Amino acid sequence: MGRKRTDPNLKVIAGTDRPDREIQDVPKFDLIDDFPEAPLHLNIDGIQMWNNLGPQLVNTKVLQVVDLYPLEQLCVAWQMFRKKAKADMEITASEHQALKALFSEFGMTPASRSKVTAQGDKNIGNKFATNGKRRAS
């Protein structure tokens, strides 16, 4: 299993977007402007994560409509983790790995966060972003 593909929007933000490597048929979904209320089935821990994380993802302009489902899944996994932690129960290795993978999907681990910077100008933070590009004369 190889490396996961990076979302094209994240490549633009990171300054690593290259037209010659662009995949033409990538589906594009609407960005979320108004973050919705937490799903009713979430408990206090899940709601807290939803309300803390969601608006920040909206502000960085990376949260699309289809991302609400994995965000909900992350909040459910988090509330299950917190429930077990409060009961002084150990989580299984698969639960730990699933939670870690979901955190990584949203750039919430140091390693995953270091791959993307949310900045307006795509050349900021990547001093090599204009290498190989012709300058207007």
Tell me the three state secondary structure of residue 100. helix
Highest mean pLDDT among 6-10, 24-28, 80-84: 80-84
Asked if residue 89 has pLDDT above 80, the reply is yes
In whole angstroms, give the CA distance from residue 38 to residue 56: 14
Cβ-based burial of 78 (10 A; exposed 0-12, middle 13-18, buried ≥19) = buried
Name the one residue in this structure whose structure tokens are 């821990």: 45
Q: How many CB atoms lie within 10 A of CB 31?
A: 13
- Evaluate the CA torsion angle 23, 29, 31, 35 in order and state its sign: negative
In whole angstroms, give the CA distance from residue 55 to residue 86: 27
Asked if residue 131 has pLDDT above 60, the reply is yes
Q: Give me the residue spans of the domains in the chain.
A: 43-119
Name which residue leads in pLDDT, 66 or 2. Answer: 66
**This model's pTM is above 0.85:** no
